[in-house]
Amino acid sequence: MGQLIDAIVYAIPFLMSGLGMTLLVSLIVVALSLVIGVALGVGLIYGPLPLRWLIRLLTDCIRGIPILVLIFAVYYGLPPLGLNLSSFWAAILALTLFKTAQVIEYTRGAVSSIPRGQMEAAKSIGLIFTQRLRYVIFPQAVRRFLPPWLNGVTDAVKGSALVSLLGVVDLMQAINQVIGRTYEPMPLYILGALIYFAINYSLSSMSKVLERRYAYIKE
């Protein structure tokens, strides 16, 4: 038992450092995917037909392959084509691509779930297109977008664990490294699992709170 406690105490600083990396990666991925994803999502809804097809195609391809394949494809596949990225940035690129496809879908869902009547009412009081978007559509779209998006952030955190396979020392890799030294796999896996759980569970709980808060927007 003492050995167990020793192992855990030994592990904590490494795990915390790994956690920091996990959070950093997740944060960058979430931020980038949010900006790019919403922009492309709006393009998907209001853009010209060729653009819509292109975005649709890319999104379907990205969502149709496993994240792991995406990560390996980016990490191993870009250098031969001339682009050399560190494992950190290759992982972030791959995860961002993955998450962006999700955000595009959230955006599309949020806007298209707004009843047609809203646009019509906005037209009927004489608002022009940009005004309709700004005062009627977007305020409602944001409130429909936030809960599922916040819930989806957990996918970024869970996906970040895969960067360990590229050698990036995140929480997952820290766990592996400590196990390699202390030979106490189970307690460390459980400990790591609990840390991931704590982060993601809080995120999804917040998402549920937001969902209830904004229920009025869905009539």
Window 46 to 105, contacts with other proteins (CB under 8 A): 61, 64-69, 72-73, 76-77, 80-82
Q: In whole angstroms, how far apart are CA 4 and each of 10, 175, 186, 194, 195?
A: 10, 15, 10, 17, 18
Angstrom distance (rounded) from CA 4 to CA 2: 5
User: Least distance (Å) from other proteins to the CB of residue 72?
Assistant: 6
Q: Among the candidate windows 3-11, 24-32, 105-113, 120-128, which touches other proteins by CB under 8 A? A: 120-128
Residue among 17, 177, 182, 200 that touches other proteins (CB under 8 A) = 200
In terms of Cα–Cα distance, which of 65, 29, 25, 59 is closest to 43? 59
CB half-sphere exposure, 15, CA atoms < 13 A:
19
Decide whether 38 or 71 has the Cβ nearer to other proteins: 71
CB within 8 Å of 97: residues ≥ 6 apart: 62, 70, 74
Residues near other proteins (CB under 8 A): 61, 64-69, 72-73, 76-77, 80-82, 115, 117-118, 120-129, 131, 135-136, 139-140, 143, 154, 157-162, 164-165, 172, 175-176, 179, 185-186, 189-190, 192-193, 196-197, 199-201, 204, 216-217, 219
